[in-house]
Amino acid sequence: MTTPFPAFNFTVALVDTGGPRLRTLAVLATSVVAGFSQCGGLESSIQVEEYREGGRATTLKFRRHATAANLRLQRGMGLSDDLWAWYAGYLSGRGRRRDGVIILQNELHLPVKAWRFRNGFPIRWTGPALDAAANRLAFEEIEIAHDGLEMV
């Protein structure tokens, strides 16, 4: 039996599509752009078409196409405006797609698993919830649509 890896050690790398290719974990580990506190949307599903053939008691099922969920990356808001600038580029019609990778690391911060996405673009940016009565960090979140997710 293997011990599961902790889910709190991970990094995210984003590069402009058409730029350096993200092929190996060694290259990916040196391409880290930002630290995020949460990453959601690492999921993919296969669409199924059902067909009921005459005379059969069961329904036949056929694979259609795979879809991947949008990625949701959340981090503490700091001085950098890079996520907003990427999103704002799309608002003004001059945005650029990015390839990226999410790398899961072990306790020694060595890469153990990685998921690559292609041709990502931001579809939503969420700023911090501001509340003068609360004592919490300011977080920003970006949601990224993409053309596919694969484990590398």
pLDDT at 9: 81
Whether residue 103 contacts residue 28, with contact meaning beta carbons closer than 8 Å, is answered with: yes
pLDDT at 1: 66
DSSP code, position 131? -
pLDDT at 76: 87
pLDDT higher than 80, residue 31: no
Higher-confidence residue of 32 and 146: namely 146
**Domains in the chain, ordered, with CATH?**
10-151 (2.30.110)
pLDDT higher than 80, residue 6: no
Model confidence band, residue 33 (pLDDT cutoffs 50, 70, 90): low
Model confidence band, residue 19 (pLDDT cutoffs 50, 70, 90): low
CA distance 34 to 106: 18
pLDDT at 53: 87
Element (H, E) at 65: strand 60-68
DSSP code, position 3? P
The string of pLDDT tens digits covering residues 39-72 is 999 999 999 999 998 888 899 999 999 999 999 9
The string of pLDDT tens digits covering residues 73-125 is 998 888 888 889 999 999 999 999 998 889 888 888 888 899 999 999 999 99
Q: Where do runs of H (alpha helix) occur along the chain? A: 25-29, 82-91
Taking the model in full, what pTM does it have?
A: 0.82
pLDDT at 48: 95
User: Residue 14 has which token pair?
Assistant: 């984003």
Q: Which among 149, 141, 103 is positioned nearest to 10, based on CA atoms?
A: 103
139 contact partners, CB below 8 Å, separation of at least 6: 37, 74, 75, 76, 77, 128, 129
pLDDT at 11: 83
Q: Which among 68, 8, 64 is positioned nearest to 43, based on CA atoms?
A: 68
Model confidence band, residue 29 (pLDDT cutoffs 50, 70, 90): low
